[in-house]
Amino acid sequence: MRRFVGFGIAAIAALLVTGAAVLFWTLPDANLFNAQVERIFVENDDLTSGAEIKLLEILAQSGTAFSDTLASYRMVIFVLLVFAAAMLIAALVFLIMLITFNRRMAQIERAGIQVNSLLISREENTVYLNNLGFKLTDAAMETMSVLAEARMDDDVLSGSEIEGVISGRNAADCDEAAGATRIKRLRDTLGNQIVSELLVKNIARRGYMLAIDKDVIKVI
């Protein structure tokens, strides 16, 4: 992605530099008109009447005005090129941001429910997943706390180890099935509440319905 951004900015810069070079190269020389007027003065030194001299002075003043105007045009063109470069770079950055956002959304859709935060409140016997609160039983709260502490230590616990930590006994003296049962109860308790919160909506005095857009439902 960074390489693509770098190539894009380089391409924009090269395009604008090329365009500016061609544009400034094709513009006439600001002193060209003055040079022509000077040549007229040199080649026609016999112009001595007042009207002829006045005409030559007007031509010289016109050349100076033309030079000033052309110089201002060059500055305006330069400012417009800088503005165009800024707009193109901004458009490229927004395009990259949009592509990154779409990829992120696709990852979230593939992953399903993604947990961005987990807060365990022992006082309330509540687990907050992505700021959604779910009440747990005392036993389920103990299991969740043990799993959370193990995850923070990057540990993987067996069923007997989970039972040993919660009961305070040696893991060798605990049954693997006891820990597995605790995990199943935690999954059932938490899973039912997640489904109720995110999928099945209870409408007071009316009944239940799925809390999703009807257009996403497909039955095969």
Per the structure, the complete domain to which residue 31 belongs is given by: 2-111
Give me the pLDDT at residue 74, please: 75
Separation between Cα atoms, residue 172 and residue 130, nearest integer Å: 36
Q: Where residue 174 sits, what CATH number does that domain have?
A: 1.10.10.10
Instruction: Tell me, yes or no, whether 139 and 102 share the same domain.
Output: no
Among 111, 141, 171, residue at a domain's last position: 111
Give me the pLDDT at residue 112, please: 56
Sheet containing 132-135, strands listed edge to edge, beginning at the edge strand earlier in sequence: 118-121, 126-129, 132-135
Q: Is the pTM of this model over 0.95?
A: no
Instruction: Tell me, yes or no, whether 42 and 134 share the same domain.
Output: no
What is the pLDDT averaged over residues 179-207? 80
Instruction: Tell me, yes or no, whether 10 and 35 share the same domain.
Output: yes
Q: Is the pLDDT of residue 205 over 80?
A: no
Domain count, the chain: 2
Give me the pLDDT at residue 51, please: 66
**What does pLDDT average to over the chain?**
77
Give me the pLDDT at residue 89, please: 80
pLDDT tens profile 108-122: 565 556 677 888 888
Among 111, 129, 154, residue at a domain's last position: 111
Separation between Cα atoms, residue 120 and residue 133, nearest integer Å: 9
Which of 50-54, 125-129, 138-142 has the lowest average pLDDT?
Answer: 50-54
Distinct helix (H) and strand (E) counts, the chain: 6, 5
Among 95, 111, 127, residue at a domain's last position: 111
Instruction: Tell me, yes or no, whether 81 and 127 share the same domain.
Output: no
Instruction: Tell me, yes or no, whether 34 and 128 share the same domain.
Output: no
Instruction: Tell me, yes or no, whether 32 and 51 share the same domain.
Output: yes
pLDDT tens profile 2-57: 666 677 777 777 877 787 777 767 766 656 666 666 676 666 666 566 666 676 66
- Is 154 in contact with 170 (CB distance < 8 Å)? no
